[in-house]
Structure 1
Amino acid sequence: MKKIIFFLNILTALGFAQQTPAPKQTKSILIMGGTAHLGNGKIQENALISIQNGKIMYVADGTLAKPAKHDLVIEANGKHIYPGFIAPNSTLGLVEIDAVRASDDESEVGSFNPHIRSIIAYNTESKVTETARPNGVLLAQITPRGGRIAGTSSIVQLDAWNWEDAVIKENDGIHMRWPNSYARLGWWAEPGGIEPNKKYAEQVKEIQDFFDNAYAYLQSNKEVKDIPYEAMNGLQDGTKTLFVTANGEKEIQDILLFKKKNNIQKVVLVGGYYAYKVADLLKEANVSVLLRRIHDLPMSEDEDVNLPYKNASLLMQKNVLVGLENSGDMERMQVRNIPFYAGSCAAWGMSKEDALKLITSNTAKILGIDDSYGTLETGKSATLFISAGDALDMKTNLITHAFIDGRQISLESHQTELYKRYKEKYESQEVKSDEKK
């Protein structure tokens, strides 16, 4: 009986669906009077933003332009307007409850799985997604985990009925975890130092052998179809990106050699903690970086405790294209904090508008969706939001309106429902207390 009750509770928890997706835009919308942060480093004060058929028709200076009539006018005086924030390298929608195996679709068995497509496991009904949208995170790259090559990611917008409706760019890249050149001893509570990884060369050779076999297959007659090797198609012609997770200086240098040897057109370094040490080489090889979660401790005990915050600035100074990612412990729940990672970067060596690029235009360029997303520009998707304050500051980020492809989406979540519920409770108690007085 207890087991039945337990599973009923789980089903009930999973049964609370996400907010109903907004319908397609049918009415023209004009946002006027706010400060528009365009996502490309520029600001437009007293902005006029026209939205029609899911697109931005124009972004103009309200002191100079006279707007045409629109069906809906939103007064944004004193508020701020931003492009939708983007969460790359995310498992959002792939795991709902860590302790419930049936809701965990982030990884598959095996070491080399380029053919695993994360998009077909993406759950648009995830309650965790609801917590990201009220902080301005409106797009995500859904990425598998596990093994040496985890699989293929896809990019989605976060307000949809199913994955087919959500997908923006399907099968955009393959994700690989590069081996470490050293091994840590002990466990996390009692680290015992580090030693060289004696199997490093062997592990790198395994990767090279897989790529050699895949390329040989793609150039062959293909009498017998090999699905994993088929998935590798697109790396040499640039239609797919290879995302490689690594943090060490030696590992990053080896990745650059690997890129050149295998003629891989587009490589993105994920993690990249020590990427600033080889920034010139990254720039020369045209390799972008998705920096690991910056709200973390340094990787070495003798480093500057603020190095994680400075990393993005150090790379930008070398003209390396850099964005922010959020993999790690409780990563799905932490997606909502991505704007505040950018805010911390702004406090350590870069302007607020440059920090904004880390989660808008830079990430859009890295993911190859910058033709439609990442900035507030004429002709691009009307995926944006309005905040009462600075969206990179957790004290003032208060979103009042959000749009994905021109559709005004719900900002309600389980948390806002609880907030309203208990707010009413304590307000009623205060009234009763006043009446007694």
Structure 2
Amino acid sequence: MVSSDLRGQAAREIHAVLPDRADDLARLQLIADGGVPVVTVVGKYNHGKSSLLNELLGQQAFAVSDKRETVVLAHSVQQGVRWLDAPGLDADVGSEDDRHAFEAVWLHADIRLFVHAAKEGELDARERALLADLLDDDERSARQTFFVLTQADQLADDEELDWVHAALAAQCKEVVWRAVSSTRHRKGQEGGKSLLVERSGIPALLASVRNALDRVPQARAHEAARLSDGIRAALSEHRAAQAALLDTLRASQQRQRADFDRGLKVVIGKAGVDIEAMLNALGTDHAIVPDSAKDRYASTAGKRERAHLQIAYSRACIAIDGFLAGHGIIELPSEQRTAASSINSVMIAVLGISVKFRKDLRRMFCEAPGRERMQRDFTHYYELSVGRKALSQRIIDVDAALSAADSALDALNTLIAST
């Protein structure tokens, strides 16, 4: 037997994945928790809901008044049945009593008594909408709704009652309305007039409700199966979507990395070929000869060659930097930046600012270890770029969502284990 705490935890895990199924989950949890059958009376205020409940129960369990009395979820448990008197349909949408009415009709109820005062004649728009919803729900969930025409004693005669029946039938042909009078029933009970009691319609309605109560366990089992199947299908669909998204993101991550690795290798390789050709075309290495103090302001062969080397180096850097910028690699990660913003560049971090000697250019661009180091270091910063980090986080989030969906499917088994 699964404990109530475990079922509650299971419901929370499912709700975290399917927040839009909160109402279905709440109903399924109530069914799983068991408890006595629930009969809810719903309708507009001042249509005799509370009086009807009192006559069905045979005691004054619910407050009766000409003013709006029921603004909360009033209830009474009698003979193994919980009876609910919901706030009237006139409640403002979004108000607290409107929420109580919703809970009474859709969350708690196994059996609904939809009441409409006979003197009002036809249903209004909100009553018609609720009636249609109740009929649809009865078909899906196997819950049972009785449509009750209250305050029949306030009509002039049976002919007027027939007219009301006809008007209601024109609005919804498939509904059978049960005319009742709480006043007649009470007077008949107090006066010992069995015929008046019978004519009130209350005994016949009570007998139908009792028969319906006998079918509640079967109806709950049907409803639990329908709800759990629907939630399982939604979870499975959600899981499949997350799995497909995860595969797509991982494939994109791998494809981007492969494109980057391949493209960077080409750019570095071309820079190396150009620099090697340039170096091989040079003659005497003047750059290694240091300038003397008298050459400080003079143009020397060493200065000219070092400038030539710097130009070749800059061209290689421009080509690599353009490639990196195309992949979103510009600045250093925030944790590596310094106060000098001008040097917070990936290019400077990997290659430095300048190159003065042939051996340095050759080591960096023409020899395999140098090219491999550049490939490795630039790739490191590529993985730290904003776009790559966002993609990695997205993959982590979707993977977590997939795990949550798996946990929710297991939780659903826990939730329905005792239904």
Specify the structure having the higher radius of gyration (Cα): 2
| TM-score, scaled to structure 2 | 0.25
**Greater strand proportion:** 1
| TM, length-normalised to structure 1 | 0.24
